[in-house]
Amino acid sequence: MILIKYSKLSNYKIKKVLRHFCADIEASKVAYLIGINRNTINRFYKLFREAIYRSRIEDLQSIIITSQVEFDEAYFGSKRIRGKVGLHKRGRGTWKRPVFGIFERDGQVFTEIIPDSSRKTLQKLILKRVSPEAIVYSDGWRGYDGLVDVGYNKHFRINKSKNFSNGKGIHINGIESFWSFTKRRLSKFNGVKIHFDLHLKECEWRWKKSEEQLFKELVILLKRE
């Protein structure tokens, strides 16, 4: 492991840093608990996140989903930006950063930062990541119009203004659950102003995994570095 090879810390302390990272404990608290400079902890945390990011990008490139898939977008960022108007809105139409999410039911979630949530942008990503054979679920956003025309004959939609499920498996509760988890987690950092892409992929990696599972996976990832 490169971190151990070039670090002045003992293997014991590096393992403690890994454990605290997997427990999602902030760097400032870890520095206090272990007795290491906070800048050192931040440097380790960034290296961990970069390894996770590279792994997630590689996974996204190699996977074409063929089963049941949920689509949705979420918006991240400050509620107010100096000199900008319209920031009282939520979701689409705000100045917040849009992120597109694809959740494979009983599988993984994949996210991508997008320039906008237009039909052209969303269709391009869906065609790249999801097989036309898949059963796909979305809300009624017009960005998902026309999926049947490009081969997704099993496209089911939910009107969230009326209900979140029709009681017959037509819902996007899985991806909504991921967005909720991600926003709660990032709120601990008072929002992420830098390295948002790293934190987003870290949330993908962390979702629904135990601390022990995270630790084992992270050790394997770091050995590849």
Q: How far is CA 190 from CA 33, 78, 79, 88, 90, in A?
A: 22, 10, 12, 19, 18
The answer for residues whose C-beta is within 8 angstroms of residue 70's C-beta and 6 or more apart is 102, 103, 105, 136, 137, 138, 171, 172, 173, 174, 175
> For the chain, first and last CA: distance in Å?
7
Predicted local confidence at residue 88, as pLDDT: 43
Predicted local confidence at residue 165, as pLDDT: 57
Model-level pTM? 0.86
b/e per residue 182-193 (b: at least 16 CB within 10 A): beebbeeeeebe
Phi, psi of 135 (to 5 degrees): -95, 120
The per-residue pLDDT string of the chain (225 residues; one tens digit each, 9 = 90 and over) reads: 555 555 677 888 889 999 999 999 999 999 999 988 999 999 999 999 999 999 999 877 778 899 999 999 999 876 554 555 544 444 455 567 899 999 999 889 999 999 999 999 999 999 999 999 999 999 999 999 999 999 999 999 987 665 555 556 789 999 999 999 999 998 887 666 688 999 999 999 999 999 999 999 999 999 887
CB 41 within 8 A of CB 31: yes
Architecture of the domain whose range is 64-187: 2-Layer Sandwich (3.30)
CB 17 within 8 A of CB 166: no
CB 185 within 8 A of CB 206: yes
b/e per residue 133-169 (b: at least 16 CB within 10 A): ebbbbbbebebbeebeeeebeebbbbeeeeeeeeeee
Here the contacts of 166-171 (C-beta below 8 Å, separation 24 or greater) are 170/137, 171/70, 171/137
The answer for residues whose C-beta is within 8 angstroms of residue 10's C-beta and 6 or more apart is none
Predicted local confidence at residue 78, as pLDDT: 62
